[in-house]
Structure 1
Amino acid sequence: MGRKIISTPQNLQVIYEDNHLIAINKRPGDIVQGDKTGDVPLSEVVKQYLKIKYDKPGNVYLGVAHRLDRPTSGIVVFSKTSKALPRLNKLFAEKEAQKTYWAIVKTLPKEHSGTLVHWLKRNPKQNKSYAYANETKDSKKAILEYTVIKKLDNYTLLEIDLKTGRHHQIRSQLSFIGSPIKGDLKYGFDRSNPDGSIHLHARKLSFIHPIKKEKIELMAPVPKDVIWNAC
């Protein structure tokens, strides 16, 4: 995949913007919100972008309503107003947004399509979630639907509709059925991608606009690399 390209205000991939919201096609490697690494988060990059674009003096308001894992790419929506943020938070918390992901795996699932139901238990020290076939103590139910949408020479492209939003849910569930995501060493793939990314992409997002009350449908182009290009 080559060298990792971190977002800057100049190369930010904006896929939607209005007075209340801004949606970004996140590059793999970007963190959405600040963490212990001290790396500049995407939220700060977006603030700088807005500051430059609108020539705003002082601080720029930006609210974080949801996140993507650092090695994952795709759609992230931010709130530009304090009015929109609690409504956007509620929308994501109550699973009113429809999320569709693309994942590239090496091992083809046994079925062409299906519903995966597992119980996920998070280990904060490892920053990892373990999937179980049956409910265990402190576990949470995780549900997703998948469909094989393209077979490549050595890999398979899956489309995934999330029904719940658990920590590392797609990564953990696909690993459990023996189809870990390309590049995802943490969840059992045999080697990492050169830039530390994994081939998991938040492809589509649809929801009712928290202020305008109209349906918004967003789609994010996949990262530029040989495998994604083949899809």
Structure 2
Amino acid sequence: MSQELASQIPVLYEDNHLLGIVKPVNIPTQADVSGDPDLLTLLKEDIKERYNKPGNVYLGLVHRLDRPVGGAMIFAKTSKAASRLSEAVRSRSFRKIYAAVVHGRLPAPRGTLRDMLLKDPKTNTVSVVKAGTPGAKEAVLDYEVLGTDGSFSLVRVELHTGRSHQIRVQMNQAGCPLYGDQKYGSRVNKPGQQIALWSVLVGFPHPVTKEDVVLTSLPPAEHPWNLWSDTVLERLRDDL
């Protein structure tokens, strides 16, 4: 069953150093307490099977997507690639762009959100706190509203920091919780709704060749994404 699931994961890019895929929704990035099949293990098993590799397969986790979030994601196939990509993340030469459908209207067509976030590991929740709060970390993102439909807005988000639940928390703080987000938007969302957050693009210098690598993925043509035309959704990848 796990091999069948792994074979259904779309591959965006692969060479001897990297594996870029489209993460399916509702699969954890790595093993967690749920015990459900996780992406990292599935991909390792798939590489082992496809290349008939003996022993353990190395696959390095460079960045994470929350369990309910899908879209473009990159993994490192060697420890050297993992180290160099991790350095790209630290130096902010690793681009991460997301699409989100949010409730309401943001204060401006485009802008920057800056907040201090504090994570509570016991509850796995993140809150906005005052500057100077022990353990708090700055979270920065740029956003652009690409369209509105009824009470919803389609937003392109570029992360400049990689804090846990960052987009979900900052959009909620701005008064625009994500569609389907039960954790930070339960007051406006119904149980069972799929969170509308998608990793549209990851971009980085190749860890060996140094050439720019850009992986893109558009959200599925289902509600609420299909409130907007394909032309509007394609703009998620424009000017990148």
Same topology, TM > 0.5: yes
Instruction: Give 1:130 shift.
Output: 0.6
- State which of 144, 149, 154 in structure 2 corresponds to 1:147: 144
Q: 1:203 — aligned with what?
A: 200
Q: Percent identity?
A: 38
Q: Secondary structure at the match of 2:143?
A: strand
1:170 aligned onto 2:158: no
Instruction: Give 1:135 shift.
Output: 4.1
Amino acid at match of 2:104: T
1:102 aligned onto 2:99: yes
Residues 70 and 192 of structure 1: CA distance in aligned 2, closer, same or farther (over 3 Å): farther
Superposed CA RMSD: 1.9
For 1:78 and 1:215, the matched residues in 2 are separated by 16
- State which of 43, 67, 76 in structure 1 corresponds to 2:64: 67
Amino acid at match of 1:34: A
Q: 1:3 — aligned with what?
A: none
Instruction: Give 1:185 shift.
Output: 1.6
1:218 aligned onto 2:194: no
Structure 1 unaligned residues grouped into runs of 5+: 1-6
Question: Which of the pair has the greater relative contact order for Cα pairs under 8 Å at 6+ separation?
Answer: 1
Instruction: Give 1:224 shift.
Output: 4.1
For 2:87 and 2:70, the matched residues in 1 are separated by 23
> 1:168-189: CA deviations, max 9, x gaps?
1111110011100001121124
TM-score computed with the length of structure 1 as normaliser? 0.90
1:185 aligned onto 2:182: yes
Q: Secondary structure at the match of 1:187?
A: coil
Q: Is the 8 A contact 1:27 1:223 kept in 2?
A: no
Q: How does 1:1-231 map to 2 (within 5 A)?
A: 8-132=5-129, 134-189=131-186, 190-192=188-190, 194=192, 197-231=194-228
Moved >3 Å (runs of 4+): 132-135
For 1:150 and 1:133, the matched residues in 2 are separated by 32
Q: Secondary structure at the match of 1:164?
A: coil
For 2:106 and 2:130, the matched residues in 1 are separated by 16
For 1:175 and 1:183, the matched residues in 2 are separated by 12
TM-score computed with the length of structure 2 as normaliser? 0.87
Q: Secondary structure at the match of 1:178?
A: coil
Q: Quick check: which one's helix share is greater?
A: 2
Instruction: Give 1:193 shift.
Output: 5.8
Q: Report how many residues are paired.
A: 225
Residues 12 and 209 of structure 1: CA distance in aligned 2, closer, same or farther (over 3 Å): same
